[in-house]
Structures are given as structure tokens and as C-alpha cells.
Structure 1
Amino acid sequence: MGEVQMTALAARLAPALKPPFCLHLHGDLGAGKTTFVRALIQGMGYAGRVKSPTYGLLEHYPLADVQVLHLDLYRIGDPEELEFLGITDLFDEKTVLLAEWPERGGALLPAADAVLEFNHSGTERRVTILPYSSSGNALCHSFQRLL
């Protein structure tokens, strides 16, 4: 799928994300993770600008009944750096955590309810979902219906 289709998929999937939920996003640079997250957050009802947290590591988006945390661990050198961000204190029953490059967070990152794997070749992208909890299974079923 192209970027337009991937953005549309994320926007349609957004209402299915119910807190607490931790979504890990895997894929190479340029695979579309940040683009997908941006559309997902906007699809959840955030009207402002959705920034990439590449340099700040974490962006917080408060919505009416949920807080969305967008974490990008690409530049993290050691998982211990997550302690300074307070992820364990921020992730609660009203939180959706979207984590790019989660493998760099090690055991300090909350376990994934689902994983999205992004692959790309040129302008074409492919997104695969893997569930790891009952809420991850529910998101997976929503995802499959949207394809």
C-alpha cells in the first residue's frame, strides 16, 4: 500500500484502540511508522500538530478520555534512559502507548498488546499485526476487517 492508503488505514483503526494499550511498531527507517502513528493519533481525535518524538523521545497527547504517549526510541543509547522519562509512571489504565523502535527499550518498556511490523520497498509499504493479549486480539480483528 502507498502512504495515502496506510494513512487511511491508521485513521480507520484508531477508534479500535482502547486504553490501556501498548502498541509496538517495528520497521526500518522510512518504513512508515511515524506516518502511521500521526494518522492514528489524529484518528483518535487529536486536532493539533502531531510531532515526531525522534529528538525528544516522548510526545504526550491528552484527549477527552485517554492520554496517548508517542515514544520514539531510535536515538536511545541505553534502556535505562526510559527511567528518566517516567514511562512506568505515565502508563496507566487511561493510556495508549505507541512505541517506535521498542526493542531499544528492553524490559523497561511495557509489554506489547500488539506489534505492527512495517516493511517497505520503494513507495510501497506493508503492515502486519501480531497480537500478544486479549486486547491485542481485538485490535487484530479490527485491523483484518479494515484491509
Structure 2
Amino acid sequence: MNTSNNIDLFLPKPNNTDYFANTLGTTILIKNKKPIRIYLTGEIGTGKTTFARSFLKTIGVIDKIKSPSYSILEQYNIDNLNIYHFDFYRLNHHMEFLDLGFKDLLYEKAIFLIEWPEKTKEFLPTPDIEISFQCYKEGRIAKVLARTIQGIEWMKIMETKNINLQYLL
């Protein structure tokens, strides 16, 4: 089901994931009220990091974009705006999140991309957008859910601009 606060996308190839990430990134740049929280869920290999890399490039990251799978956090700065890309896959217990001192960062005026948020969900604020990736046939499905007013505004902007997300289910 597709409404203004959720869409389901079929992304048959990585470049379709790139296009979707570019679309969301451009929309956020148009209507930007910080902090911005985007949570990425799904099994290993379903497209979370592919999406994150494309999104980061779209919003202006020119540095080499590394996966935070081992470091847990990769940080970028564009025009005095911090961007945090977390990957909590390697956390064995949700209390490790607190031990690492990340909780206070989450309320900073910044952009947050968080992979594997379910590992620490009891400590995380509500995301603006949650994207759940899953493998499907030769590609993947992205289930996009807006969870805040800001997230719903982004979805409406994408709808209003008649963004060509032609792979809607």
C-alpha cells in the first residue's frame, strides 16, 4: 500500500537504489529541518550501505565513503553540518551503545544515517524516515515509512515533484 507516509519500491538494480537515495537526498536538501534521522533496516546484503553511499554523495560528501561496519561510526562535515553514518551490526548488547557515548550525539543538529537501528532501538529517537530493505527476485524491495511530520513532508515533496520512482510495487 502506498500513501503519503509510506511507499514500497522495487529496486531491480543497484542504480535504482542510487536513484532512490538521490531523490530522497535532494528532497531533504529542499526541505531541511535538522536534526534528520534516517534508519536503514534489513538483512546483510540488502542494500543499506549502497543506499547510504548514494545518499551521502547526493548531499555533498566528497570524501571517500567508507562503510562503518567495523568502526561503527563514520563522520562527515559539509558546510558546518555534521553527518553521522552509524552501523550497529557489531554491537552484541544494546548497552554497548551507551558505553560508546553515542547517545548525546543523536540530539545534535545533524544528519543521521543509522544501519541496524534495531540493535539499540530503546535508546534511539524516532526516525524521520525508516527504510526497510529486503531481497526480492533479482533485486530488492525498499519499504519506506515516514514516522515524523518532517518525514511526511519529504514524502509529499517527492510526490508533488512527481519524482519518477517507476518501480513502485
In 2, Cα distance between equivalents of 1:52 and 1:40: 13
Amino acid aligned to 1:137: I
What is the Cα-based RMSD across aligned positions, in Å? 1.7
Residues 1:119 and 2:130 aligned together: no
TM-score by length of 1: 0.90
Deviations along 1:54-104, one digit per CA (max 9) or x if unpaired, are 011111111114211111111111111112333232234521111111110
In 1, Cα distance between equivalents of 2:151 and 2:101: 24
Deviations along 1:18-51, one digit per CA (max 9) or x if unpaired, are 3211111111111100000010011000111111
Q: State the Cα distance separating 1:107 from its structure 2 match.
A: 1.4
Q: 1:34 aligns with which of 49, 55, 58?
A: 49
Which secondary structure does the structure 1 equivalent of 2:51 belong to?
Answer: helix
Q: Which residue of 2 aligns with 1:6?
A: 17
After superposition, the Cα gap between the structure-2 partners of 1:128 and 1:5, relative to the gap in structure 1 and judged at 3 Å, is same
Deviates more, 1:71-80 or 1:5-14: 5-14
Q: Which has the larger radius of gyration?
A: 2
Larger RCO (CA within 8 A; separation ≥ 6): 2
Amino acid aligned to 1:52: S
Contiguous gaps of at least 5 residues in structure 2:
1-10
After superposition, the Cα gap between the structure-2 partners of 1:10 and 1:139, relative to the gap in structure 1 and judged at 3 Å, is same
In 2, Cα distance between equivalents of 1:102 and 1:51: 18
Which secondary structure does the structure 2 equivalent of 1:138 belong to?
Answer: helix
In 1, Cα distance between equivalents of 2:125 and 2:65: 22
TM-score by length of 2: 0.79
In 1, Cα distance between equivalents of 2:87 and 2:135: 19
Q: State the Cα distance separating 1:16 from its structure 2 match.
A: 2.4
How many corresponding residue pairs? Answer: 147
Amino acid aligned to 2:149: S
Residues 1:130 and 2:141 aligned together: no
Amino acid aligned to 1:117: S
Amino acid aligned to 1:42: K
Residues 1:73 and 2:84 aligned together: no
After superposition, the Cα gap between the structure-2 partners of 1:103 and 1:10, relative to the gap in structure 1 and judged at 3 Å, is same
